[in-house]
Chain A
Amino acid sequence: MSTNLLALLPELMLALTGVLVMLAEPLIPAGRTRKPLGYLAILGTAASGLAALYQLRIVDGSAPLTAFSGTIQIDAFSVFFHLLIASIVLVTLLASLDYFEDPITHAGEYFALVCFGATGMMFMTSSVELLMVFIGLEISSISTYILAGFRKGRATASEAAIKYFLLGSFATAFFLYGIALCFGATGSTSIAAIAAGLAITKTPLLGWLAVAMVLIGLGFKVSAAPFHVWTPDVYQGAPAPVVGLMSTAPKAAAFAVLLRFLFNATPMYRDHWVLMIAILAVASMTIGNLGALLQSDVKRLLAYSSIAHAGYLLVAFTGTQRDAVSTACFYTAAYAAMNVGAFVVLTQLSGFDEKLRTLDDFTGLALKRPVLSAIFAFFLLSLIGIPFTGGFFGKFYVFSAAVHGGYTWLAIVGLANSGVACFYYLRLLAALYARPATDTLADTPTHNYRVTAPAALALAATAAATLVLGILPNRVLHLTQRAAPTTTIAQAPTAPTTPQ
């Protein structure tokens, strides 16, 4: 067994950061600001990002690097997601540095939890052993349950937490059942072995059942309809920066798992799950967009839009393996950039005790906060899928994959959906830029502290990312295309002997 710590470098960094933050927290006397902890967390996250880059240098060209007796596999795929998650967390931390005014809100624990959660997500993406995946999933889930309920005083916060927690555990049970059935069908829980085992299994039905159960479990995590029901409520109740995080990073991780599972563990069952995926995609896109259509609460609106985007992302799965993986990876990145960005803007606009919530609160905001509004508008345009933004290239890439995979009808449905979608984004956009009926902007409540340097940095980073992914996506595209083939396991270990 090889205990190659290089394989764990980013996770280790994050975990250590979390621990350090926790250790440092008591040193800061009560009533004092927790910002230093935030900076500490930021440093740690940046370090783990660099570590991921270093891993990229390692896996460059050479075969994927497995460690801890095959539980962890470092390849372009996992490194891509490591980078993605690290940067998402980084941006979130930057954005939430000034989020907590009063120290009673456990800023320290917040930073620690974010780091730990990120660790779990990273483990999800890099592990090829379902047990490991499960634990990573639980780490990320539990930490996000807590983060969702972080604005304790408020009734909505704890409600969001409880809903997320109960339904989350409910779905976890399904996921777990799926793993159990995989184990039952193949006698193993490592991706490679499952792939090998399913090829020769005598009980294919168990395999199909396993696929279904895993789809349900992960479908919940990526909030794909009909397992999306928790999303709007939780997003509305949770703090804005946390929503930014939990609408992207855990989803990205869950999608990574889904990709690994579907394309590595059960490729031979494609006929069984591809139609299912297509149906889930259609349902998610439609329900998400329709739900957002009449929303007045902006966070809720973005929640529905994230459901729709999960649908777009599922469309990618209908492509051939190579297309699917690379397009899905790219879309995840693009979506992360614009969505986190949007929520960073929200954080800046409405602050801890969300003063701006409904569409009316945003009407004519461009007059008061021109820069923030412009950036927000940019993210919205990207979410619509206007060219020269990451959102557009992502959509374009995804739907081309679908068409290439022979799912033209799905592409048509999807693009028609994006037509519906632009209605509610535009409502928000038009509201931002419309001159309010009464030119008394004074009484419109807005959260008036100026955008601090870290937040500005976060905004700049997300905006730049969204733009670059739209105009010069080559680097990222290259990485995702490299990630594609490595998700296929080179050697299939011998399946355990079936009972005599």
Chain B
Amino acid sequence: MNPQLLWLIPILPFAGFLLNGTIGRKLPRALVATIALLFTLAPALIVVQLWLFMKSDGAPLALSVVSCPWIAVSGFSVNFAFTVDHLTLVMLGIITGVGFLIHIYSVSYMAHEEGYWRFFAYLNLFMFFMLVLVLASSFLLLFVGWEGVGLASYLLIGFYFTKDSAANAGKKAFIVNRVGDFGFLLAMFLLIAHYGSLDFNTIFASIAASPLTGGLFTAIALLLVLGATGKSAQIPLYIWLPDAMEGPTPVSALIHAATMVTAGIYMVARCHILFDHSPAALTVVACIGAATALFAATIGLVQHDIKRVLAYSTVSQLGYMFLACGVGDYSAGIFHLMTHAFFKGLLFLAAGSVIHALSGEQDMRNMGGLRKRIPITFWTMSAGVFAISGIFPFAGFYSKDEILFDTFTSPNHLHILLWLVGLVTAGLTSFYMFRLWFKTFFGTPRFDEHTAHGPTHAPDLHAAHLAAVHASKTSTLVLEAEPEPTHTAHAHGVHESPWLMTLPLVVLAILSLIGGWVGIPEALGGHDEFKHFLSPVFNAGLDIAANPQHFLMERVDAGISLLVALLGAFIAWYAYCYKPGTAAALAAKYRRLYSLVDHKFWVDEIYGRFIITPILVVSRLLLNGLVDGGIIQGSASSLAASTRGGGWLVRRIQSGNIRSYAGWLAAGAAVVIAIVLFSHHTLPH
């Protein structure tokens, strides 16, 4: 195939963005949707062709195209250049595939929104930047996509900008990401300073040739990790993701579950050569991943907002992927990334469908018994729940199991601890997912039929209102947020979503069932195609899976994780179906602990109090007040004042009295005579 086709992959969505962005306001909704869909479908088709090409034997390991320079100064230049290898291919598949499905879903989900054209323009813009991100063949170009997706997410989270909560969430997302980018940038500067280039091949080649040792190298790696934690919502920078749920649900599905948030993992995987040479950095990655996984899972246990539960589970799952990368099995990370894209996308879309059905109700306490009312949603969501909980044979089972096993067998001296954490997290995950499942679909309906109506105009308006109240409690970047009155409409009754929405659900449900089968390890009788597919990129990690004496261990490990998952599910059933009061009782019993978790460990407040407030105070009082107002303005004005004083003195001399004037004259004359007479003694000559 013609490699120049690569250019089209990102450019087509960009064209869509330009079309909808400029003239979309004038176009009918149908046309807007068609444009958006077409310009997303086309790259997907190109990707398919690309995939076939790369599968064909004799295909190169990587396909590259280079264009004109973007930045060129003597001694340093960066070109517009794309590279496709198998890793990129996987990402491309996920982005275009899931992206396209979510586009379809949005067509009907957003059908009645203001700024329909805006929404699709932004979505296409996001596709463009995301594709640039994965196609980039240099750090700088990757950074372009990196920042670009941040922009797109900023715009989409703030889609309902009339509400401060949404605007705040968007701003928070952008700025927190900026903190990560700060690290990324510094890493790039160091790379330029020491390799004089930002091109992946150049840098990795020279690293492989002569690995830099010492702190600097670790510093570069850690700075990159900082960037990744920002984008992939890891500790310490995960705080933006839950608030990002302010955005429309398809956005949460696409950007904040399936694709963008995985950019960090992709970046780490892309730079695996760099990380492989810096064990310290890898350990940090692993620990961050594990910690985040557990931490987010615990918070997820007690959330009531259905989307927030999913949000925290996303953070937790991303933690898994980090863990995988941290223990050096990048392919497992990417594998989980793929399956996660399927089932988490599915879960969000399904949740959206539920919310849609309940006219914007997001609080699980007001749900229940929806099993019969929205069957398709129920069944598809169940697939998602099973998958994420790691129930055999759903996709999640394989990917998560592989991660746990690799953690266990990794040479890292913390591997047992990490493995335990992963295991516990798995249990917690299945618990809160099943909790969500039970509370939503089983038991007695707790929602009010009469407020339930639809097809609603803006489900998320109400959602966002709830979130606004919520955010005003938590988010510290929020200045003021008054909840708006929820708009009421005529009662209509709970209903299943239209086919345009259910179709993607079904497809994704199937994917989250079978999606994992491409990665069945030999131990469980598979061939682990996925790992082999990626082997050209990560030639490491195969040996472990390959040697048979690990098979038993791996089977045991798989069994344990499955058991843990089932245990979690059972407890959820016990607490929410069998004896509904249990959870409440427990919460009452350990009130302190509960409120701690319920308030998400006060992390937002801590950041607010110990970082943001001090910065503002320092700027206001110290910098603006003391330095600028006091010293800089003060010095100038004092100078002026002293000059004025001189002026006043001179005016005093000018008393208007002739005799005084004569006095000055006489005195002056005396002085002049004296100086002229005696100056020659003082003058050197």
Are A and B genuine complex partners?
A: yes
- What CA separation (Å) do A275 and B644 show in the bound complex? 28
A320 to chain B, nearest CB (A): 15
Q: Are A276 and B665 in contact, CB atoms less than 8 angstroms apart?
A: no
A to B CB contacts below 8 Å, 8 in the list: A166-B658, A170-B665, A215-B676, A227-B665, A229-B665, A276-B675, A276-B679, A280-B672
Which B residues lie within 8 Å of A279 (CB)? 675
A167 touches B658 (CB 8 A): yes
Distance to closest chain B CB from A427 (angstroms) = 12
- Within 71-108 of A, Cβ neighbours of B (below 8 Å) are at none
A163 within 8 Å of B (CB atoms): yes
Contacts of B680 in A (CB 8 A): 208, 271-272
A226 touching B668, Cβ below 8 Å: yes
Residues of B within 8 A of A230 (CB): 661
A205 nearest in chain B by CB position: B677
Q: Are the C-beta atoms of B646 and A293 separated by less than 8 Å?
A: yes
Q: Is the CB of B667 within 8 A of A226?
A: yes
Residues of B within 8 A of A286 (CB): 646
Contacts of A293 in B (CB 8 A): 643-644, 646-647
Residue A195 is within 8 A (CB to CB) of chain B in the complex: no
Q: Is B45 an interface residue (CB 8 A)?
A: no
Does the CB pair B651–A291 fall under 8 Å? yes
Instruction: Give the residue name and chain of the A residue nearest to B649 (CB).
Output: A290
* Shortest distance from the beta carbon of B586 to any chain A beta carbon, whole Å: 74
**B685 within 8 Å of A (CB atoms):** yes
Name the A residues within 8 Å of B656 (CB-CB).
233
CB distance from A160 to the nearest CB of B (A): 11
Residues of chain B lying within 8 A (CB to CB) of residue A291: 647, 650-651, 654
| CB atoms of B647 and A275 under 8 A apart | no
Contact A290 B675, beta carbon cutoff 8 Å: no
Closest to A288 in B: B650
Does the CB pair B651–A211 fall under 8 Å? no
| Chain B residues with CB below 8 A from A420, complex form | 643
**Judging by beta carbons under 8 Å apart, are A216 and B647 in contact?**
no
Once the chains bind, are B668 and A162 in contact (CB under 8 Å)? Answer: no
Check: B556 CB closer than 8 A to any chain A CB.
Answer: no
Tell yes or no: A403 within 8 A of B by CB. no
Q: How far is the CA of A215 from the CA of B670 in the complex (A)?
A: 12
Contacts of A216 in B (CB 8 A): 665, 668-669, 672-673
| Residue of A205, A211, A290, A420 most packed against chain B (CB within 10 A) | A290
Is B53 an interface residue, CB under 8 A from the partner?
no
Chain A nearest CB, measured from B585 CB (Å): 75
Given contacts A229-B654, A291-B647, A294-B644, is CB(A167)–CB(B665) below 8 Å?
yes
- Are the C-beta atoms of A276 and B676 separated by less than 8 Å? yes
Let me know if B602 is at the binding interface, CB within 8 A: no
Chain B residue at minimum C-beta to C-beta distance from A230: B661
| A window 287-338: CB within 8 A of B | 287, 290-294, 304
Is A394 engaged at the interface, CB distance under 8 Å to the other chain?
A: no
A227–B672 CA distance with the chains assembled, in angstroms: 11
Interface residues in B147-162 (C-beta closer than 8 Å to A): none
Does A167 contact B661, Cβ atoms closer than 8 Å? yes
With A171-B665, A290-B650, A291-B651 as known contacts, state yes or no: A271 contacts B672, CB within 8 Å.
no
Can you name 10 extra interface pairs (CB under 8 A) apart from A216-B668, A219-B672, A226-B667?
A: A163-B658, A212-B676, A226-B664, A227-B665, A229-B653, A232-B654, A271-B680, A271-B683, A290-B646, A293-B646
A423 to B648 CA separation, bound complex (whole angstroms): 15
Counting CB contacts under 8 A, is A209 at the interface? yes
Interface bits A416-431 vs B (CB < 8 Å: 1, else 0): 0000100100000000
Q: How far is the CA of A209 from the CA of B644 in the complex (A)?
A: 37
Bound state CA distance, A292 and B644, in angstroms?
Answer: 10
CB of A362 closer than 8 Å to a CB of B: no
Q: Does B479 sit within 8 A of A, measured CB to CB?
A: no
A174 lies within 8 A of chain B by Cβ? yes
Contact: A275 with B675, CB < 8 Å? Answer: yes
Number of B residues whose C-beta is below 8 Å from A? 31
Contact A174 B685 (CB under 8 A): no
Interfacial chain B residues near A287, Cβ < 8 Å:
650, 653
Q: How many angstroms between the C-alpha atoms of A272 and B678 in the bound complex?
A: 8
Q: How far is B664's CA from A219's CA once the two chains are assembled, in angstroms?
A: 13
CB-nearest residue of chain B to A166: B658
The answer to the question of A273 belonging to the interface, with a C-beta cut-off of 8 Å to chain B, is yes
B650 adjacent to A211 (CB under 8 Å): no
A229 touches B661 (CB 8 A): yes
Question: Smallest Cβ distance from A6 to chain B, in angstroms?
Answer: 38
Tell me, yes or no, whether B662 is within 8 Å of chain A by CB: yes
Q: Which residues does chain A contribute within 8 Å of B643, judged by CB atoms?
A: 290, 293, 420, 423
- Tell me which residues from 166 to 182 in chain A have a Cβ below 8 Å from any Cβ of chain B: 166-167, 170-171, 174
Tell me whether B669 and A229 are in contact (CB under 8 A): no
The interface bits of chain A over 244-281 (1 if a CB of B lies within 8 angstroms of the residue's CB, else 0) are 00000000000000000000000000011101100110
Question: What separation, in Å, do the CA atoms of A461 and B675 have in the docked complex?
Answer: 43
Interface: A220 (CB within 8 A): yes
Chain B CB within 8 A of A213 CB: yes
Instruction: Indicate the member of B643, B646, B669, B671 with the most A CB atoms within 10 Å.
Output: B669
7 shortest interchain CB distances as A-B pairs: A226-B668, A293-B647, A212-B676, A291-B650, A229-B661, A290-B646, A212-B673
- Are A215 and B647 also in contact (CB < 8 A) when A163-B658, A167-B662 are? no
Interface residues of B in 627-670 (CB under 8 A from A): 643-644, 646-651, 653-654, 656, 658, 660-662, 664-665, 667-669
> B584 to chain A: closest CB distance in Å?
71
Q: Mark B616-629, 1 if CB is under 8 A from A, else 0.
A: 00000000000000
Residue among A212, A213, A279, A286 having the largest count of chain B Cβ atoms under 10 Å: A212
Given contacts A167-B661, A229-B661, contact A212 B672 (CB under 8 A): yes
Contacts A272-B676, A290-B643, A293-B644: A174 and B669 contacting too (C-beta < 8 A)? yes
Nearest-neighbour CB distance to chain B for A178, whole angstroms, equals 10
Q: Encode B479-490 as 1/0 by CB contact (under 8 A) with A.
A: 000000000000
Whole-angstrom distance between the alpha carbons of A302 and B385 in the complex? 90
Q: Return B663 CB to nearest CB of chain A, in Å.
A: 9
A162 to B659 CA separation, bound complex (whole angstroms): 12
The CA-CA distance from A463 to B307 in the complex, in Å, is 78
| Given A167-B662, A294-B651: A213 and B673 interface contact (C-beta under 8 Å) | yes
Considering the chains assembled together, what is the distance between the CA atoms of A291 and B660 in angstroms?
Answer: 17
Q: A271-B685, A290-B646 are contacts. A208–B664 as well, Cβ < 8 Å?
A: no
Q: Is the CB of A212 within 8 A of B662?
A: no
CA distance A293 to B651 in the complex (A): 10
Among B647, B662, B673, chain A packs the most CB atoms within 10 A around the CB of B647
Residue of B650, B654, B662, B671 touching A170 (CB-CB under 8 A): B662
Q: Return chain A residues, CB-CB under 8 Å to B660.
A: 229
Closest A residue to B640 by beta carbon equals A423
Interface centre among B644, B658, B660, B667, by most chain A C-beta atoms within 10 angstroms, is B658
Tell which of B647, B665, B682, B683 touches A290, judged by Cβ atoms closer than 8 Å.
B647
- A294 and B658 CA atoms in complex are apart in Å by 22
Query: How far is B650's CA from A292's CA once the two chains are assembled, in angstroms?
Result: 9
Task: Report the Cα distance A29→B532, complex, angstroms.
Answer: 124
Q: Which residues of A contact B668 (CB under 8 A)?
A: 216, 225-227
Chain A's closest residue to B676 (CB) is A212
- Cα distance, A211 to B672, chains bound together (Å): 10
A77 to chain B, nearest CB (A): 25
Complexed CA–CA distance, A294 and B652 (Å) = 12
Q: Which residues of B contact A220 (CB under 8 A)?
A: 665
- CA of A2 to CA of B669, assembled, Å: 39
| CA A232 to CA B654, docked complex, whole Å | 8
The answer to whether A208 touches B676, judged by C-beta atoms less than 8 angstroms apart, is yes
Closest to A210 in B: B676
Closest chain-B Cβ to A308's Cβ sits at a distance in Å of: 11
Do B683 and A294 touch across chains, with their CB atoms under 8 A apart?
no
Give the residues in chain A near B669, CB-CB below 8 Å.
174, 216
CB-CB under 8 A from A271, the residues of chain B are 679-680, 683, 685
B651 CB contacts on chain A under 8 angstroms: 291, 294
Nearest CB in chain A: distance from B511 CB, A = 72
From A215, A216, A279, name the one whose CB has the most chain B CB atoms within 10 angstroms: A216
Distance in angstroms from A422 CB to nearest chain B CB is: 12
